[in-house]
Amino acid sequence: MIYVGVTGWGDHDSLYPTPQDRKEKLAAYAGHFPAVEVDSTYYAIQPERNYQKWVSETPDDFRFIVKVHRAMSGHDRENKDPLGPIFEQYLASIEPMRQSGKIAAILVQLPPWFDVSKVHLEYLQTIRKSLAGLPVAIEFRNPSWYSDAYQERTLRFLAEHQFIHTICDEPQTEDGSVPFVPVVTQETAFVRLHGRNVAGWLKKPGQSSEDWRKVRCLYRYSEEELQELALHIRSLAEQAKDVYVFFNNNSAGDAVPNAKRLIEILGLDYESLAPRQISLF
């Protein structure tokens, strides 16, 4: 099955035309898309009650991809014990969702400095052991993993350690981007679409008074680009049991219309969406 959605459910205003929708955003979101990526977990360990609430607000067939906390993925360089209690806290917090069967994958989005090295390979093996029994998706953000010397070995390593390969579409810069590599390593395939805004992608925090997060993924995929992506997604669906495709290009609200158009192109018809609120105006 192909699941198309967007990252997060809080910032997509076009999905929430009624006061009730705005009050219960996830329930409203589930009336449009069959899956979502949870990003709030990257910034803080969420209480169990949040997961219980999210499970109760979505249909039985709804699926979540949940990011790990930044300390778990190596973003906190000052953290001297990245394998300490944070893993136990995270696992305890997601237990209600795990029990529900609604977790499609746990996403480990690695930092840009996480390059090919023995210590990093060992850390990935430790992550696999620490998250044993869970489907884990790895998103590399350092291009060294896809270099001519390492790409084949990278993909083989992911397959051998039962990692889902996160396939990324992002702006292609000279030395700071990962390429689009539509290769499946497990029965689940995962595609994240960040847009193709090279200038915005290269901006760094502090370089400008402009909020860099608002321009980093400022992009709307064209019809031609969506048709191209659809070809790749159909091919992935022939190799994997499930394919999850999430648009992350929401700096100007482009993720939702792009996702809905891709659903149309792929001819998808989701029968188990949540009922939508009816607006009188």
Token output for 205: 């925090």
Give the distance, in angstroms, between the CA of residue 229 and the centroid of all CA atoms in the same chain.
Answer: 16
Q: Evaluate if residue 10 carries a pLDDT over 70.
A: yes
**Quick check: is 34 in a domain?**
yes
Average confidence (pLDDT) over 23-35: 95
Q: Give the total number of structural domains in the chain.
A: 1
Instruction: Give residue 80's pLDDT.
Output: 46
* Domain hosting residue 63, numbered range: 2-266
Partners of 166 in beta bridges: 190
| pLDDT tens digits, 202-235 | 766 555 444 656 677 678 999 999 999 999 999 9
| In contact, 44 and 69? CB cutoff 8 Å | yes
Q: Does the residue 271 lie in any domain?
A: no
Mean pLDDT, residues 71-97 taken together = 80
Tokens at 113, concatenated:
């400095």
pLDDT higher than 50, residue 85:
yes
Beta bridge partners of 108: 138
Q: What is the mean pLDDT of residues 246-269?
A: 95
Q: Within 13 A of 52's CA, how many CA atoms are on the CB side?
A: 5
| pLDDT score of 274 | 81
Residue 278 lies in a domain: no
Q: CA-to-CA distance for 158 and 178, rounded, in angstroms?
A: 16
Evaluate whether residue 280 is within a structural domain. Answer: no
Per the CB < 8 A criterion, the answer to whether 164 and 189 are in contact is: yes
The better pLDDT of the pair 84, 98 is held by 98
What is the rounded radius of gyration, in angstroms, for the C-alpha atoms of the chain? 18
pTM value is: 0.92
Backbone angles phi, psi at 276, to 5 degrees: -95, 150
274: in domain: no
Instruction: Write out pLDDT tens, residues 110-164.
Output: 999 999 999 999 999 999 999 999 999 999 999 999 999 999 999 999 999 999 9
CATH number at residue 13: 3.20.20.410
- Does residue 89 carry a pLDDT above 50? yes
Phi, psi (5° rounding) for residue 132? Answer: -55, 140
pLDDT tens-digit series, residues 30-81:
999 999 999 999 999 999 999 999 999 999 999 999 999 999 988 765 554 5
149 lies in some domain: yes
Whether 276 maps to a domain, the answer reads: no
Interatomic CA distance for residues 31 and 277, integer angstroms: 9
Q: Quick one: tokens of 8?
A: 């997060």
pLDDT of residue 201: 65
* 5, two tokens: 């959605």
Residue 280's pLDDT band, with cuts at 50, 70 and 90, is very low
In a domain, 44, yes or no: yes
pLDDT of residue 204: 66
The residues with which 136 forms a beta bridge, in sequence order, are 106, 163
Cα dihedral sign for 233, 189, 214, 17? positive
The band of 83, judged by pLDDT with boundaries at 50, 70 and 90, is low
Burial track 216-250 (b if 16+ CB lie within 10 A, e otherwise): bbbbbbeeebbeebbebbeebbeebebbbbbbbbb
